Structure 1
Amino acid sequence: MNIDLTGKLAIVTGSTEGIGFAIARGLADSGATVVVNGRTSARVDAAVARIGGTARGVVADLGDASGHDILLAAEPQADIVVSNLGIFQPADFFDTDDATWDRHWQVNVMAGVRLARSYLPGMEDRRWGRFLLLASESAFNIPVEMIHYGVSKTADVALARGLAKRMAGTGVTVNSVLPGPTLSEGVAAMLEDERASSGRPIEDVAADFVTTHRSSSILRRAATVEEVANMVVYLASPFASATTGAALRVDGGVIDTL
């Protein structure tokens, strides 16, 4: 399968590292012109340089409406939008204040809502588009240590389904992607003390983390960011034209339902 996105403009939010960067690079490798997004010029510039080609960047914090307005002014239309930006913060439910709930809602949910409001109408006019929200296996396996995060990711799945129905018959597809434990830079940093003290490869340390903390995993290891990106690139392509309103899992089998 040769995915060719030549001539398509793709915006990937939160794409200076981790899953977002892997998605941006995967789309660029398939021929798309990619817009990288992050909160600092240094990180955006570095990511754009790593991708090369026609990639360009927009510095904007999409956790509020003013940051969204900056992105929209710089890139008023797109063929592919990947709402990848997200945050998580472990905290017991009874210690989680309104500000934490609101911050997760604004970044993990409302950033995607604003992107959909701004970019879906243009896709509909052109009769082609791909809109993707990065959710999580936590949307179904609500983590007791961060219920607020799980609720926000469940909302992303519901948002994608509702938007897909709203765009019915337009040639525009909307889907959510559910990664499981993934060996991103952030996860590697979290596990660095264990890696350093044990002297074991980071992949082995991550596999132990998965089997301990996500015991339902069938894969029994952390996914790579590229494995998650592969699903997104496929869904962004013409080959996925009959897939919409779906929640696609890249969770290694963590979600224990059929």
Structure 2
Amino acid sequence: MQIDLTGKTAIVTGSTGGIGFAIAKGLADSGASVVLNGRKQAAVDDALERLRQQVPNADARGVSADLGSAEGCDAMLTAEPDTDILVNNVGIFGPQDFFDTPDDEWQRFFDVNVMSGVRLSRAYAGGMVERGWGRILFLSSESALNIPDDMIHYGMTKTAYLSLSRGLAKRLAGTGVTVNAVLPGPTLSEGVQEMLAEQQRQSGKSMEDTARDFVMAQRPSSIIQRAASVEEVANMVVYAASPQASATSGAALRVDGGVVDSIA
């Protein structure tokens, strides 16, 4: 299968590192004109440099904007008023006990992890409908289904993305615009590596083995019995963004390594 996105513009939010950067790279490898995004200009500039090193002919540019606010989303829209592919990847996570999580932290998670996708999808979908083609993708998580007891506020936002993606897919039925959610499981991103750094130091094992131990301890239902790579998650997103995925809409596409113990 040859995925060719030449002539398509793709915005990937939260793409200066981790899964988001891997998605941007995969889309650029497929010929898309890619817009990277991060909160800080220095991080955006660094990501652009890395992307151009890895994909020498990449057509890429960046927008520095904090998408956890309406003002940040407006800044993105001013810089990039139109797109063919929107990947709502930006998100925050972190463990915190339910009884220690104050209102403002719930609101912060909701603004970044949910409202960024609401605002940008609402703004960009109209142009996609007018052209009769478009792809909107929401990065959810296996935590949307297996709600972590130490990150209930995070799991809530990822479940919200499942409702949002399914409902918007139905709203755009018959337009040529598909909407899907992608559900990664434990993934060896920079954020996860930072979380496991102390455990790795104490064990003396490689990061891959440390991540494997973490998966088997915290997600024992994993079928692949390891953390996924960011590239493995990105591959699903690139496919869902492609013309070849034209009959896939309103779906929850799992890249969770089999963590969710369900055949549906």
Same fold (TM over 0.5): yes
Q: Does 1:189 align with 2:194?
A: yes
What SS is found at the alignment partner of 2:136? strand
Aligned counterpart for 1:221 among listed residues 226, 249, 256: 226
Distance apart, 1:49 and its partner CA: 1.1
2:55 counterpart residue number:
none
What SS is found at the alignment partner of 2:147? coil
Distance apart, 1:118 and its partner CA: 0.4
Give the counterpart letter for 1:247 in structure 2. Answer: A
2:7 counterpart residue number:
7
Distance apart, 1:197 and its partner CA: 2.8
State the number of aligned residues.
258
Name the TM-score, length of structure 2 as normaliser: 0.97
Taking the aligned partners of 2:138 and 2:104, their CA distance within structure 1 comes to 23
Give the counterpart letter for 2:122 in structure 1. Answer: R
Taking the aligned partners of 1:132 and 1:248, their CA distance within structure 2 comes to 10
Q: Out of 51-60 and 70-79, give the one that drifted further.
A: 51-60
Taking the aligned partners of 1:200 and 1:147, their CA distance within structure 2 comes to 30
1:159 counterpart residue number:
164
1:116 counterpart residue number:
121
2:79 counterpart residue number:
74
Give the counterpart letter for 2:26 in structure 1. Answer: G
Q: Does 1:235 align with 2:240?
A: yes
- Written as runs of structure 1 = structure 2, the 5 A alignment for 1:167-182 is 167-182=172-187
Spell out, residue by residue over 1:22-74, the C-alpha distance to the aligned partner (whole angstroms, 9 max, x if none). Answer: 00000000000000000111110011111122110000000000000000000
Taking the aligned partners of 1:122 and 1:36, their CA distance within structure 2 comes to 20
Taking the aligned partners of 1:60 and 1:211, their CA distance within structure 2 comes to 37
Taking the aligned partners of 1:185 and 1:95, their CA distance within structure 2 comes to 26
Name the TM-score, length of structure 1 as normaliser: 0.99
1:98 counterpart residue number:
103
Distance apart, 1:160 and its partner CA: 0.1
Taking the aligned partners of 1:43 and 1:216, their CA distance within structure 2 comes to 36
Structure 1 residues not aligned, in runs of 5+: none
Give the counterpart letter for 1:187 in structure 2. Answer: V
1:148 counterpart residue number:
153
What SS is found at the alignment partner of 1:176? strand
Distance apart, 1:17 and its partner CA: 0.2
Aligned counterpart for 1:247 among listed residues 246, 252, 260: 252
Taking the aligned partners of 2:123 and 2:65, their CA distance within structure 1 comes to 15
1:200 counterpart residue number:
205
Taking the aligned partners of 1:248 and 1:142, their CA distance within structure 2 comes to 17
Distance apart, 1:20 and its partner CA: 0.3
Give the counterpart letter for 1:123 in structure 2. Answer: M
What SS is found at the alignment partner of 2:180? strand
Distance apart, 1:90 and its partner CA: 1.0
Q: Does 1:211 align with 2:222?
A: no
2:25 counterpart residue number:
25
What SS is found at the alignment partner of 1:208? helix
Runs of 4+ in 1 over 2 A off after TM superposition: 196-199
Taking the aligned partners of 1:226 and 1:58, their CA distance within structure 2 comes to 23
Taking the aligned partners of 1:24 and 1:46, their CA distance within structure 2 comes to 14
Structure 2 residues not aligned, in runs of 5+: 53-57
Aligned residues: percent identity?
Answer: 67
Q: Out of 143-152 and 45-54, give the one that drifted further.
A: 45-54
